[in-house]
Chain A
Amino acid sequence: MIVDVLSFVMLALGGFFVFLGGLGALRLPDLYTRMHAASLTDSFGTILTLGGIMLQSCWSLATVKLLTILFFLMMTGPTASYALANAALLSVDDPEPHPPPATET
């Protein structure tokens, strides 16, 4: 009973975070802010959703497979975001001119 309620809540929160990530990727103004939204909600939504499903299938082969999927997504998701952000940062040929540092005496 408690497992069902917990699974329900986790799936609901997971769906909510995933939707929030999609909304952020569409509406935020700049590339880096979009990356922030997409990668954070990717990780968190994945943990919640897959965790919710895992609670429903207690200790079977399906749980082991879901744990493996979770492990791989946790390893590759942040790495892909890092590689993308690194490539985007290094590829800027003419960066925006920064305002000169204010020198106050």
Chain B
Amino acid sequence: MVTLFGLVLLTLLVVTAVAIVITPNLFVAVMLMSIFSLIMAATFFILDAADVALTEAAIGAGMSTILFLGALALLAEREQRSRGRQWLPLAVVALTGFTLIYATFDKPRLGDPSAPVHQHVAPWYLEQTPVLMEMSNVVTAVLAGFRAYDTLGEVLVILTAGLGVMLILASGRPEPSRRGPAAVAGGLRHHLIPRVVGQLLIPFIVLFGLYLQFHGEFGPGGGFQAGAIIAVGIVLHALLEGEAAGRAILPTRVLVGLMAGGALLFCAVGIAGMLLGGNFLDYAVLAANPVAGQQLGIHLVEAGVGITVTGTLVAAFHAFADREPAA
């Protein structure tokens, strides 16, 4: 029965994807991308992958939509007509698509216990996580413990992306002469009801983000989701009170400090492991007994991830929202 729900959601997904490609209006495409992210999150959830579903909902339907809209507010609404038919890209895409579809014919059945993916490392992780780390969320244990190099790479990629956005887009101080009247630059300041309700919600959003951050060891959660949700809370304040107020609560210096500080924390945990006698990113030497050391290491590393993600997303939002369109 749940499979049937999954099939219905996937059908809606295909319809949305086709509509995104066909429509010439970019604003419609952004709205449909938001729906696409929601359907993906629901599909992941039905497939029992709660951490991925939470990340997809927080980043795809939340921050991604806001960043797309920030970019779209500066541009024209209709996409440019393409000049002539492009046969070579169509042929390449069709060939790749057919190859991928052909490759799925040999896929093992969903959830088959004798599939190759369940034979090698996966049972080892499932058995060793309660022994080595005493943590109920195996996803967090694998992400931040067994495969911490991967996560270090991801954090550095996020930091690089944030720095890239700021280098390309950050305009310093917007010229006051080109600013429109205060009604536009003031965000939704003149609408009382959304402003009051939004301001009431911000502490709850930030609190929920912190809950996800620290609860990531026991249930769905972790650094990426928490960072995205706290960023959404901060962006809500900037949307409601205007860009100037948004910049005032977290100036650029602090944002850059957050972005770099999270990655620094991650690397510092690794180097502390080396200094205390183990390998790089070896958490077992961080505390008196190895299990407590693993848990401490994972907490610190996830905190680093959350800090970097928050800083990067808020910096990207400010970089887009501060610009005037090139009129």
Contacts and interface: CB of A to CB of B under 8 A. Distances in A.
> Are A and B in contact, CB atoms below 8 Å, in the complex?
yes
A91 interface: no
B201 A75 contact: yes
A75 B193 CA distance: 11
Interface residues of B, number: 9
B200 interface: yes
B204 interface: yes
A83 B190 CA distance: 11
Interface of B is mostly: helix
A7 B193 CA distance: 34
Contacts of B204: 72
A46 B197 CA distance: 19
B121 to A, nearest CB: 33
B191 interface: yes
A76 B199 CA distance: 11
Contacts of B29: none
A33 interface: no
A86 B193 CA distance: 11
Contacts of B203: none
Contacts of B191: 83, 86
Contacts of A82: 193-194
Contacts of B200: 75
Contacts of A75: 197, 200-201
A73 to B, nearest CB: 12
A79 interface: yes
Interface of A is mostly: helix
Contacts of A86: 191
Interface string B187-214: 0100101100110110010000000000
A83 B200 CA distance: 16
Interface in A41-72: 72
B193 A83 contact: yes
A82 B193 CA distance: 8
Contacts of A72: 201, 204
B28 to A, nearest CB: 16
A83 B196 CA distance: 12
The CB with the most chain B CB atoms within 10 A, among A72, A79, A80, A86, is that of A79
B54 to A, nearest CB: 14
Contacts of B188: 83
Nearest to A87: B191
A94 B191 CA distance: 22
The CB with the most chain A CB atoms within 10 A, among B188, B197, B201, is that of B197
Contacts of A76: 197, 201
Interface of B: 188, 191, 193-194, 197-198, 200-201, 204
Given A75-B200, A76-B201, 6 more contacts: A72-B204, A75-B201, A79-B197, A79-B198, A83-B193, A86-B191
8 contacts: A72-B201, A72-B204, A76-B201, A79-B193, A79-B197, A79-B198, A80-B194, A83-B194
